């Protein structure tokens, strides 16, 4: 079976962790500091603060940017639930708006309309599948409407819009280093910012609100990253540029070989963007049948995401029952992610293409997505 994802952890990472274990310094320390500095340099941000997960990174990014209880935060429904959950952690209220059909990222026109609502204070965008949002439009809207802009970059390590890396457009950007991300520390996250005030808030929030031992100035959290995770992250960060290039090459190959299949809508890379292909996600109205077909061909697939956040049981209980976001809801019925990770062999890529081309030839010729 060709898995849909495959974390790449080698001897260098094992040696780095072993060295930390032998040092006896396991909790957050110098290794974490080095990782923060290196990641900030990679993204092109002034500051970075490591956290225990991508979810805690989102939570702290929102808090440090000033999101307060009762504030309304515009966001996308087509994402992992952690995006909206982080808003709830702050006591704030998610305002879900629909997505663009082409990229499946948040729709700037829908954002602009929602920004007219009273009480809207922030905008949390998600660079889905490693494709940057339309940051030209979104930064303009945020500026015009006085919204705090935060980026969920959990799937967008190294992605660029107009030559500028994701995470640098708003008050803060939150990254994830979960096992299946483009780089991993097992679990872990990072918040980047170019604002000194946000950086100082993050440093307090991540460590019990404490600037020094046993002094607690604000209500903070134990969201620190471990030295072992940071050691892995430093090695993975060195490998990330090459891995990204391979992902892009793999995606280019798949697109070139599949572009004539009318049954499938392939990922689109908007002009001026560099996508990092955390996922290579196609759309088809025969999604479940295609997934079953590929399974028989020993090709792993995944659905990211089968249920929009506003339709999740938690959010239905919170009063989002009457929300209708048709583009996101349709996408949830059609999306299917295919393997694109850097460890794929050429023969595996050819096998994936062959399997796709064998699926329902008569349907491929005769049915089109609407």
Cβ neighbours of 185 (radius 10 Å)? 30
Q: Is the pLDDT of residue 363 over 80?
A: no
Please give the biggest Cα pair distance in the chain: 70
Confidence band for 61, pLDDT divided at 50, 70 and 90: very high
Parse the chain into domains and list their residue ranges. 11-98+105-235, 241-366
| Contact between 171 and 195 (Cβ < 8 Å) | yes
Confidence band for 366, pLDDT divided at 50, 70 and 90: very low
| Contact between 217 and 209 (Cβ < 8 Å) | yes
DSSP string, 159-184: -EETTEETTSSSSEEEEE-BTTSSS-
Per-residue pLDDT reduced to its tens digit, 1-11: 999 999 999 99
Span of 132-146, 240-254, 352-366 with lowest mean pLDDT: 352-366
- Tell if the pTM clears 0.75, that is, is over it: yes
pLDDT of the residue at 188: 98
Confidence band for 369, pLDDT divided at 50, 70 and 90: very low
Q: Is the pLDDT of residue 254 over 60?
A: yes
Residue 263 DSSP label: T
CA dihedral 179, 185, 191, 192 (to 10 degrees): -110
Per-residue pLDDT reduced to its tens digit, 183-237: 999 999 999 999 999 999 999 999 999 999 999 999 999 999 999 999 999 999 9
pLDDT of the residue at 28: 87
pLDDT of the residue at 361: 56
Give me 148's structure tokens: 């705090």
What is d(CA 54, CA 5) in angstroms, rounded to the nearest whole number?
A: 18
Class of domain 241-366: alpha beta
Residue range 159-170: mean pLDDT, rounded: 98
Residue range 246-266: mean pLDDT, rounded: 97
Per-residue pLDDT reduced to its tens digit, 309-336: 999 999 999 999 999 999 999 999 999 9
Q: Which fold has domain 11-98+105-235?
A: 3.40.640
């Amino acid at each position: 079976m060709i898995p849909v994802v495959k974390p790449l952890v080698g001897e260098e990472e094992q040696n780095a962790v072993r060295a930390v274990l032998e040092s006896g310094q396991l909790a957050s320390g110098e290794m974490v500091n080095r990782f923060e500095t290196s990641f900030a340099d990679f993204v092109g941000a002034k500051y970075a603060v490591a956290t225990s997960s991508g979810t805690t990174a989102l939570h702290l990014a929102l808090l440090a940017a000033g999101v307060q209880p009762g504030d309304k935060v515009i966001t996308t429904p087509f994402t992992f639930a952690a995006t909206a959950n982080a808003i709830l952690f702050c006591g704030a209220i998610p305002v879900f708006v629909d997505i663009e059909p082409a990229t499946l990222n948040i729709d700037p026109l829908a954002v602009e309309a929602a920004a007219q609502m009273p009480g809207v204070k922030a905008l949390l965008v998600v660079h889905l599948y490693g494709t940057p949002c339309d940051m030209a439009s979104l930064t303009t809207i945020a500026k015009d409407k006085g919204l705090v802009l935060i980026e969920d970059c959990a799937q967008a390590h190294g992605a660029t819009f107009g030559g500028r890396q994701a995470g640098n457009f708003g008050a803060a950007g939150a990254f994830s280093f979960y096992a299946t991300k483009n780089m991993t520390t097992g679990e872990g996250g990072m918040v980047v910012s170019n604002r000194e005030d946000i950086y100082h808030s993050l440093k307090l929030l991540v460590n019990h609100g404490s600037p020094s031992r046993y002094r607690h100035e604000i209500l903070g959290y134990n969201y620190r990253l471990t030295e072992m995770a940071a050691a892995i992250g430093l090695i993975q960060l060195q490998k990330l540029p090459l891995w990204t290039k391979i992902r892009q090459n793999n995606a280019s190959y798949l697109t070139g070989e599949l572009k004539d299949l009318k049954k499938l809508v392939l990922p689109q890379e908007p002009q001026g963007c560099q996508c990092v292909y955390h996922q290579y996600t196609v759309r088809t109205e025969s999604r479940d049948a295609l997934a079953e077909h590929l399974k028989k061909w020993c090709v792993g697939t995944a659905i990211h995401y089968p249920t929009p956040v506003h339709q999740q049981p938690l959010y239905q209980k919170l009063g989002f029952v009457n929300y209708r976001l048709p583009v996101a809801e349709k996408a949830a019925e059609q999306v299917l992610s295919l393997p694109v990770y850097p460890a794929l062999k050429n023969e595996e890529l050819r096998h994936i293409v062959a399997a796709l081309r064998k699926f329902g030839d008569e349907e491929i010729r005769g049915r089109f997505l609407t």
